[in-house]
Amino acid sequence: MAELPIPDVPPARCSGRFTISTLLGMEEAGRGPYTPTEGSSCDSAQPTQLSSSTLCTRTFGYNTVDVVPAYEHYANSKGVGDPRKGRPSLADLHSILKPDPSRLRTPVSDVQHSNGLPEAGPEAGLEEAEGEPGRDSEPEPVRFGWVKGVMIRCMLNIWGVILYLRLPWITAQAGIALTWLIILMSVTVTTITGLSISAISTNGKVKSGGTYFLISRSLGPELGGSIGLIFAFANAVAVAMHTVGFAETVRDLLQEHNSLIVDPTNDIRIIGVITVTVLLGISLAGMEWEAKAQILFFLVILVSFINYLVGTVIPATAEKQAKGFFSYRADIFAQNFVPNWRGPEGSFFGLFSIFFPSATGILAGANISGDLKDPAIAIPKGTLMAIFWTTMSYLVLSATIGACVVRDASGSLNDSVAVGSPGCEGLACSFGWNFTACAQQQSCRYGLSNYYQSMSMVSGFGPLITAGIFGATLSSALACLVSAPKVFQCLCKDQLYPLIGFFGKGYGRNSEPIRGYMLTYVIAVGFILIAELNAIAPIISNFFLCSYALINFSCFHASITNSPGWRPSFRYYSKWAALFGAAVSVVIMFLLTWWAALIAFGIVIFLLGYVLYKKPDVNWGSSMQASSYNMALNYSVGLSEVDEHIKNYRPQCLVLTGPPNFRPALVDFVGTFTKNLSLMLCGNVLIVSHLQELGPWKQKMPESRLMADGHTKWLMKRKIKAFYTDVVAEDLRSGVQMLIQAAGLGKMRPNILVLGYKRNWQTASPQSLEDYVGILHDAFDFKYGVCVMRMKEGLNVSGVLQAHVNLTFEAAEHPENGTGSRAAPGTADPTTLASEQQASTIFQSKQGKKTIDIYWLFDDGGLTLLIPYLLGRKKRWAKCKIRVFVGGQINRMDEERKAIVSLLSKFRLGFHEVHILPDINQKPRPEHIKRFDELIAPFRLNDGFKDEATVNEMRQGCPWKISDEEVDKNRAKSLRQVRLNEILRDYSRDAALIAITPPIGRKGRCPSSLYMAWLETLSQDLRPPIILTRGNQENVLTFYCQ
């Protein structure tokens, strides 16, 4: 902890907060930090980031800048490294305290309790704290608990017309045993999904958005966005489905009494539109009214259940017996216990596909997560309890009706016979009824297998079952009418798709999506007017199953990634059960309707592809991000176990770009041949004059990190697949040494050093010249290959970008020194850097039918050949013809050419045009020799061939100077560079790119100025870019298969 001295201050004077501004202001005034002043007190201090530290605290027995843990320090946290409310930064604790006006802000209000939690709940406390004093507080939004908000809502959505109209028929077809198996199989899927929902919803604070929010924050915006859109649409169409179910029931009642409004089809439309309009009015009245309506529907369904159960124990009348009801009978139960398949749908999976939609609806509570008091408690508890009670109701209903009603009955009172009458077949004969005729002719109108209204017939009062059907359909329609806008509103606010933001606006204390309600209403009315939903219904079921599959996969994926952030408080889940649930959900999709499953997958893939293409700028800490890290880590560690082989050699480049936007041509050149192939790492050396004076600058290190993010975003915007790293050093060479030694990870380490040519070496400081050549020597010492790039117009464009470059990094004193940038004070703004104008370079344009000329003068292991070959494989360079030039003797030109062609063919590089340079050792022109002599003249010692000891004494303090003896010894090598430059200008003046093997200066024997004179002479006055490439003398090409 950063401790502060304890002053002698009377406790009575302390009435508020201690801040850094108070401390600094008192120190500057020459007073002690806590000396009381007239008219001052602790609460009069100016607010700063450290406003939650208190002067009067006695927690630790002394005053401290550190603060105790508090809720607001973690609320609204986003990414790693974001500033937290009230918590001091590391610089505040570690560095010298200095006032920083740019960081002053309004403090969070005092936290009243020692644990930092406000009295009225965390969110309310923060909102009040950030509000203006004296402002009228807004009314509290309506929030629901787990019973009203989740359990009842889910139960109503799970119960539907299938419960009343199809479950008795399924029991007759499959028998009680297999019906229970169908129910339990369906419930297994929904229970596993419920457990997955519980785990996800308890892994952090859940906001509004329901299923979309859970999936998108777990798996990321790609899958979350696609599921959110189709899930909202599916709910909107489901409103129409349930409303039409209600309208059909009302239409049937009207038909029975000959009271049709117009005709059967139009009656459905009229009743449906009126019904959905009334439901919309209930929804617009607010969540409180909607919840009251749901409770009313719930009570109606409970009364209908009780009515049915009472009816099963009431002795059967003659009319009911004629329809197959005989109260509880063991032999009826035994007969109905086994299956009796009938009709085209008479199969296990056929009946399963009919029943399964009645087990869905478990997401109704999660879909209004924003309206729950505590979603982390309400969603798990309410969802699982709803699944339990609805499952029990299904099991009880199938068992009771299977023990009371026979499969076939005529409904005619004339079919009563004496018990034991001859010619009577079937179980009803023992009860005094003969249904043999209609059973054999399959013309029975009643019985479990024939009469869908068996529950109404069994019940004590039939109209109550009709009321239950009304309650089930209307409650499901109302739940979907509320769910669709809530999910869609969250999706609109995230702005993953265009043209939908208009519907995201909320109104009132509950932020009701009025526009979303109207859109859902329009969609529902549109499908109600179709009045034929048999075609769209399977697609809706598949959309819901898609959601189940992805919720289960989200839970599995978050668990398997082992992310430290996956810490759900709900522990009763299994990642393997979640994976099983996801797989089964996909299988059921195809079992229900295979073509609808394909359509659902097609829509999901299309929406997924759109989000992947757009790449929205969101960061939700999804399990996909954790998975990417896991995969990268596992592959990187696994790569360490792989032995290196020449066939798998890849040019992994450490590119000394400085700030990458300063040298875009260098970035584009390396990025072209490393993209999707090998490692590219952009290195930058931040030069600080004296490390002992680094202390003040370290306070700018967080801004340096922001700039690193900006450089990375700049590379991403330029579509360069590369990393960026920087180091702080006293000079360029020591910084590059750090990069060479420390860059990379495991086998993912650079093996080539790429840097720009130092154009200003003649006018630069001698030490920078020594450093530049020393960097090349260091690279060879560490077994790196070296690639130096020179362009006629230069590489550094920092002058052009001066208006756009952020002040945190100033260009170095000599802009062409390779990589360095001076550390300077300023304000980091990575967004400005990432959004600046992108400079175009030659490596971004198509080269046409030019040539890439390779001068393979010395055998460096093949790197001089490999880089142009990789460049030629790219689309922009594909039409370029590659020519290879090698030195040779005039009297052996054919033999040497055949030898090189044979070697290149074994390398399989596709280089067929080979030129022998017989005149490479000719003497250059006198004017060019003279120019070279003039080039090195300022750097000569002019010692007159004195002995070595005298020369060393004269060279004391200026090691870059060239002695007369060194000029004489290296004369032939110097003239060769002059001659090579003449050849380059003769043969390659119109080339797109020149790659040449440069000479190597022997360390300690070749002065840096002489070596730079060689490179200058070799590459001067050339229009195309020239790449001076030298491998580390180890093979990078092979013609063997092993």
**Each residue's pLDDT tens digit, 76-90:** 554 444 544 567 766
Residue 701 confidence (pLDDT): 60
In this structure, what token pair is assigned to residue 186?
């369906």
820-823 and 809-811 beta bridge pairing: antiparallel
Under DSSP, the state recorded for 998 is P
Q: Residue 753: its pLDDT value, please? A: 96
Instruction: Please state, as a whole number, how many other Cβ atoms lie within 10 Å of the Cβ of residue 621.
Output: 18
Question: Around Cβ 44, how many Cβ atoms within 10 Å?
Answer: 12
Tokens representing 88 are 């001091």
User: Which residues pair with residue 693 across a beta bridge?
Assistant: none
Which pLDDT score, from 0 to 100, does residue 116 have? 38
pTM: 0.71
Structure tokens at 447: 């019985």
**Residue-level pLDDT at 824:** 44
Give every residue of the chain whose pLDDT is below 50, as ranges: 1-58, 78-81, 83-84, 101-136, 803-818, 823-828
Query: Is 106 buried (19+), middle (13-18) or exposed (0-12) by CB count in 10 A?
Result: exposed
Distance in angstroms (rounded) separating the CA atoms of residues 630 and 623: 10
CB 759, CB 767: distance < 8 Å: no
pLDDT of residue 75: 67
Using the structure block, give the residue that is written with the tokens 């079992």.
591
Question: What's residue 94's pLDDT?
Answer: 60
- Dihedrals phi, psi of 144, to nearest 5 degrees: -110, 150
Q: What is the pLDDT of residues 1009-1042, one digit of tens each?
A: 999 999 999 999 999 999 999 998 889 888 877 5
Sign of the CA dihedral running 297, 302, 308, 310: negative
**766-781 and 732-742 helices, crossing angle to 10°:** 20
How many C-beta neighbours within 10 Å does residue 976 have?
20
> Pairing state of beta strands 752-756 and 653-656?
parallel
Token pair 């008091």: residue: 373
